[in-house]
Structure 1
Amino acid sequence: MKILVTELMWEDGIDELKRKGYTVDYDMELSRKREELLSLLPEYDALIVRNETKVDTEFLEAAKKTQVIGRLGVGLDNIDLQGARERNIPVISARNANATSVAEYVMAAMLDASRPLSDADEDVRQGNWDRKFFTGYELNKRTLGLVGMGEISHRVAKRAKAFGMNVVGFDPFVAPFDHVVQETGIRQFEKLEDLLKASDFISVHVPLTKSTKHLINRDNFPLMKPHAYVINSARGGIIHEPDLVEAVKSKQLAGAYLDVLEKEPVEKDSPLAQVKSIRLSPHIAGLTIEAQSRTAMLIAEEVDSVLNGSQSLCRVN
């Protein structure tokens, strides 16, 4: 059987598939070569993608032999799940494989905001020694607001609590006795507005859907504390980016850490790139060596299971 990998996949997973006897064709840039990709699809029994490959109607119609699609990650907004279901093509995701890495990214963002060591290093190398300017603040006793309370938020909350932070959350789909609340002591809010008012840091952990698109926008930026930071490691489009730029410029909030954008990669003349207190990273929150290996191995194992007629615990459709 043949498997096509259209984006970055750690070698552990590719080697595992080959060890199991599959022919694996791997081109980490194939998602950006649409016509070539569509022409290749009819040959393959399984497809492995990330977030850049658009698995739409055109894609699914071309994938005539495909028995399973593996998603190297958990976001699914690039995949037509209904279309795959209608064609009886299981879609599997790397459930929780990168959750720890994303949680640590959120902690790194908060630590960078409170103690900007890279800025201090740059300033010292320019001959300065401004100890007062680089006096930071502690995370201890600060409030972290989690928008969405799934597995990643659970892990963020545990780490934030270890720093002595207060943790609050908003998620209309989480009940008071669910594990993320009971095991971490998160204080739940019934309204997003109340969380935004209470938080020193707001970290977004929801999927991109019709109801979450531009969830954070000009209507609720004024509710935030002027020293607050927004952190988005979920999906671009949840935060309305032009509104964010204006809010930071007008000092309605201190800044933001954006790992995901509506349009990736960011354009050089993007207003986001012109505001220093909006920190950008290239969609790497879940990309650590350990998470890459776990993700690749999980998808390799689950794709193999489906191709051999077994059910996958990671199936999402």
Structure 2
Amino acid sequence: MKLLVPERILPQQLERLQREHDVHYDATLFERADDLIESARDAAGIIVRNVTQVRGPLLEAMKDCRVVGRLGVGLDNIDMDACAKRGIKVIPAVGANALSVAEYVVTTAMMLRRRAYLGTEAVAHGLWPKLAMVQGREIAGATLGIVGFGSIGKAVAKLAGNVGMSVVAHDAKATSADGLEGVKFMSLEQLLGTSDVVTLHLPSIPATHNLFDAAMLARMKPGGILINSARGGIVDEAAVVDALKAGHLGGAAIDVFVQEPLKDTPIFHDVPNLILTPHIAGVTQDSEWRVTDLVVGEVLKFLAA
């Protein structure tokens, strides 16, 4: 069978696919819409990351498609309803990158709360901002608020508990921690007023668009830290900058953006206690192997059935 892989994949896993199927692989094919559609017409399956839009013209062209492998967990680039109607199996890498995201969240929370790691430029230029940096706080004893308690939220809760944080959570569907001890569920309003650090793990859907706007940020505990490693558009980026400059937020880490790749954006220049990363919270060498191994294995298993 023909499989289409229009984004990068680990060489070892590509070879694994090629041993059993006719694989059309081009790591930049997603950038050329017409070529992508033409290549997809006779494919029995497609394996994508988060850029290829498996919807509209592409999905309509894939008359023979039986399976979509998603090298990640977010599904906002896949038309799930259309796939369901056509009987197309969608296979995401649920749980495979959860630990990497959890480590990103706890690490950035430590950096922003401690403030000791943001002085490299000043120290390298002969300055000695010691008095400013000794105002940092320890992470142990701080309260972490997790908004969205799926597989990643649970991994974050476990790791945060291991470093001595108190954990509270809010989820529109979940009401218990599913075996995780010490996690207290509460309303979003309560969570925002209670948490020293708020981390978001929500899908990109109409209900979450700009959920964390200026009004929502104002409800956060003064000096609190916001971390978004979920999806761009859940937070109002300009409002986060304003809250940092005003001193209401004590820090923020943003890994996902409305526009990706992020272009030179003046609003992010010279903002205090802000960490920006290029959508890599869930991407490490370790998680990359787990993600591709899981998805490739499940796609092969499905096609062999």
Q: Residue by residue, what CA displacement relative to the aligned partner does 1:217-247 show, whole Å, maximum 9, x if unpaired? A: 1221111123111101111111122222222
Q: Which residue of 2 aligns with 1:75?
A: 74
Q: Which residue of 1 aligns with 2:101?
A: 102
Q: Which residue of 2 aligns with 1:155?
A: 155
**Equivalent residues in 2 for 1:209-228 (5 A)?**
209-228=205-224
Q: TM-score, normalised by structure 2?
A: 0.94
Q: Is the contact made by 1:16 and 1:297 (CA closer than 8 Å) also made in structure 2?
A: no
Q: C-alpha root-mean-square deviation of aligned residues, in Å?
A: 1.6
**Equivalent residues in 2 for 1:194-213 (5 A)?**
194-213=190-209
Q: Which of these residues, 272, 293, 299, is aligned with residue 295 of structure 2?
A: 299
Q: Residue by residue, what CA displacement relative to the aligned partner does 1:278-304 show, whole Å, maximum 9, x if unpaired? A: 321110011000110111111111111
The answer to whether residue 127 in structure 2 is matched with residue 128 in structure 1 is yes
CA distance in 2, matches of 1:18, 1:34: 24
CA distance in 2, matches of 1:33, 1:11: 22
Greater RCO (CA < 8 Å, at least 6 residues apart):
1
One-letter code of the match for 1:283? Answer: H
Q: Comparing 210-219 with 68-77, which one deviates more in the overlay?
A: 210-219
Q: Is the contact made by 1:12 and 1:297 (CA closer than 8 Å) also made in structure 2?
A: no
Q: Is the contact made by 2:94 and 2:151 (CA closer than 8 Å) also made in structure 1?
A: no
CA distance in 1, matches of 2:181, 2:205: 27
SS in 2 for 1:25: strand
Structure 2 runs not aligned, ≥5 long = none
**Equivalent residues in 2 for 1:277-288 (5 A)?**
277-288=273-284
The answer to whether residue 151 in structure 2 is matched with residue 186 in structure 1 is no
Deviation at 1:276, TM superposition (A): 4.3
SS in 1 for 2:227: strand
Q: Is the contact made by 2:140 and 2:165 (CA closer than 8 Å) also made in structure 1?
A: yes
Structure 1 runs not aligned, ≥5 long = 310-317
Deviation at 1:118, TM superposition (A): 4.3
Q: Comparing 298-307 with 276-285, which one deviates more in the overlay?
A: 276-285
CA distance in 2, matches of 1:305, 1:69: 13
Q: Which residue of 2 aligns with 1:315?
A: none
Q: Is the contact made by 1:232 and 1:257 (CA closer than 8 Å) also made in structure 2?
A: yes
The answer to whether residue 252 in structure 2 is matched with residue 253 in structure 1 is no
**Equivalent residues in 2 for 1:111-122 (5 A)?**
111-122=110-121
Cα–Cα, structure 1 residues 273 and 9, in superposed 2: closer, same or farther, change >3 Å?
farther
Q: Is the contact made by 1:47 and 1:70 (CA closer than 8 Å) also made in structure 2?
A: yes
SS in 2 for 1:219: helix
